[in-house]
Amino acid sequence: MSIRFDDRVVVVTGAGQGLGRCHALEYARRGAKLLINDLGGSTTGEGGDGDLAQRVADEIIAAGGHAVANRDSVEHGERIIEAAIDAFGRVDVVVNNAGFLRDRSFAKMTDEDWNLMIQVHLVGGYRVTRAAWPHMREQSYGRIVFTTSAAGIYGNMGQANYAAAKLGLVGLAQSLAIEGRSRNILVNSIAPLAGSRLTATVLPAEVVETLKPEYVTPLVLLLTSETHDESGRLYEAGGGWVSQSRWQQSEGAYFDQLFSPEQLQARWAEICSFEHPRHVQSIGDIRTGVPERLGTDFALTPQ
């Protein structure tokens, strides 16, 4: 095995089952020391089985690996990172994976459905990462993965709360990729598709069985490996398929003078044509041509 994690400390949130457990076991097989976090919640975020994380840690230890369990919610990310530091003295990799669903049409969604989703997926991802960040900066090494979802990228019926939280994570990841680069902290996002108790609520049993989490785990390990150098990217993976997704911009149209909605309408097809799409790679790319035309220059950086 050439991709190894010997002496690396890896934190996987929501690692008691499903994708997180699968990632954790593979990291352990490749020499990592694991912090297995899981509060053992139900699919909708209530109650739970507090021993879930301990069982995965025990499995790793029984196979000769190193692992400690933690059952805090990701909302208390600082406790999770503290547990990793107490046990192993450092943190090299964070896989933000914990999550659950509260699917409901927007018309029926309660404030609680909305708040819980933002709180666990987005705020939880923020808190765990924020707590790990100073350690990674200090050691000039860090690898972070955020688990987003196709529902966030494309939208989905009954998942407005989940989609908003999940795409929020992509914005977080893309900005952290920029801020972390100079300290060798790489940050990427993955949108997985895998059979788990979450997808068992929407997919037939035989499909859940076929879409093994093992098809997603190699991507997470590659993105967080020592020699991998890409950051700020978004990948989709599941069932043996792996791809990269990115934003594109239509070529658009320029107006030489202030214009009316009717003039805009007249050129709408041109504005929305993707015949010559541009792949925008940074915020600086979006202003091509505008400063020159306005006879001014500007940069979209904090003043």
Ligand X SMILES: NC(=O)c1ccc[n+]([C@@H]2O[C@H](COP(=O)([O-])OP(=O)(O)OC[C@H]3O[C@@H](n4cnc5c(N)ncnc54)[C@H](O)[C@@H]3O)[C@@H](O)[C@H]2O)c1
- Residue 232 interacts with ligand X (CB under 6 A)? no
Q: Which of 235, 99, 85, 229 is nearest to 165 (CA)?
A: 99
- From 100, 114, 133, 215, residue interacting with ligand X (rule: CB under 6 A): 100
Is 162 a catalytic site residue?
A: yes
> Should residue 13 be labelled a site residue for ligand X when binding is judged by CB under 6 A?
yes
Kindly indicate which of the ranges 81-89, 97-105, 133-141, 247-255 contains the residues binding ligand X, using the contact rule CB under 6 A. 97-105
User: Is 34 an interacting residue with respect to ligand X (CB under 6 A)?
Assistant: no
Q: Which is nearer to ligand X, 141 or 237 (CB)?
A: 237
Nearest in space to 32 (alpha carbons), one of 189, 224, 202: 224
Provide, rounded to whole angstroms, the least separation between the CB of residue 148 and ligand X.
Answer: 7
Nearer to ligand X by Cβ, of 141 and 236: the residue is 236
Encoded one letter per residue, x for contact with ligand X by CB under 6 A and - for no contact, window 114-153 reads ------x---x----------------------x-x----
**Catalytic residue among 27, 126, 141, 162, which?**
162
Sign of CA dihedral 141, 29, 82, 129: positive
Q: Is 98 in the site for ligand X (CB under 6 A)?
A: yes
Residue 110 identity (one-letter amino acid)? T
Could you tell me the two tokens for 236?
Answer: 């989709």
The binding track of 166-205 with respect to ligand X, each residue x by CB under 6 A or -, is -------------------------xxxx-xxxx------
Q: 68 to 87, contacts with ligand X by CB under 6 A?
A: 73-75
Q: Over the range 192-210, which residues count as b (16 or more CB within 10 Å of their CB) and which as e?
A: bbbbbebbeeebeeeebee
Q: Do 239 and 206 touch, CB atoms closer than 8 A? A: no
Output the CA angle 152-156-162, nearest 5 degrees.
50
Count Cβ atoms below 10 Å from residue 191 Cβ, excluding itself: 24
Among 114, 107, 95, residue whose Cα is nearest residue 19: 95
The contact set with ligand X (CB under 6 A) reads 13-14, 16-20, 37-41, 43, 45, 52, 73-75, 97-100, 120, 124, 147, 149, 191-194, 196-199
Give me the active site residues, please. 162
